[in-house]
């Protein structure tokens, strides 16, 4: 089974197509819990009306299911705390114009 860090690294291929950046850099990935063959992924979206939300969730599930030892992926969408640009990595902030 993968480690928490391996799951997070794998999720770097899942992009928000509207922003052209991965969900880890954007700060959309809130938590990953690995419990044997089950992986629980807590994430958010940039807005409640995000039209690509279902696609992002599907990609997350597919990527994590592709890791050796994973049998079940439980995605959990949360709005608590709400996402904000402050959650982005410093690189993402600079690329998207939020840097100072």
pLDDT tens across 45-91, in order? 999 888 999 999 999 999 999 999 999 999 999 999 999 999 999 99
User: Residue 45, Cβ neighbours under 10 Å: how many?
Assistant: 21
Q: What CA–CA distance (Å, rounded) separates 26 from 15?
A: 9
When divided into structural domains, the chain yields a total of 1
Q: Is residue 32 one of the residues assigned to a domain?
A: yes
For 60, the domain range is 4-85
Whether the pTM exceeds 0.95: the reply is no
Would 43 be classed as within a structural domain?
A: yes
CATH number for the domain that contains residue 39: 3.30.300.130
Is 10 a member of any domain? yes
72, part of any domain:
yes
| 55 part of a folded domain | yes
Burial track 72-91 (b if 16+ CB lie within 10 A, e otherwise)? ebeeebeeeeebeeebbeee
Asked if the structure places residue 53 within a domain, the reply is: yes
| Strand pairing category for 15-16 and 21-22 | antiparallel
- Per the domain annotation, does 68 fall within a domain? yes
Residue 49 lies in a domain: yes
């Amino acid at each position: 089974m993968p480690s928490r860090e391996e799951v997070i690294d794998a999720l770097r291929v899942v992009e928000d197509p509207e922003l052209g950046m991965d969900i880890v850099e954007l700060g959309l990935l809130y938590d990953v819990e690995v419990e044997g063959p089950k992986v629980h992924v807590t994430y958010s979206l940039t807005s409640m009306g995000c039209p690509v939300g279902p696609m992002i969730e599907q990609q997350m599930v597919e990527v994590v299911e592709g890791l050796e030892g994973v049998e079940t992926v439980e995605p959990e969408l949360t709005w608590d705390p709400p996402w904000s640009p402050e959650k982005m990595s410093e690189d993402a902030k600079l690329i998207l114009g939020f840097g100072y």
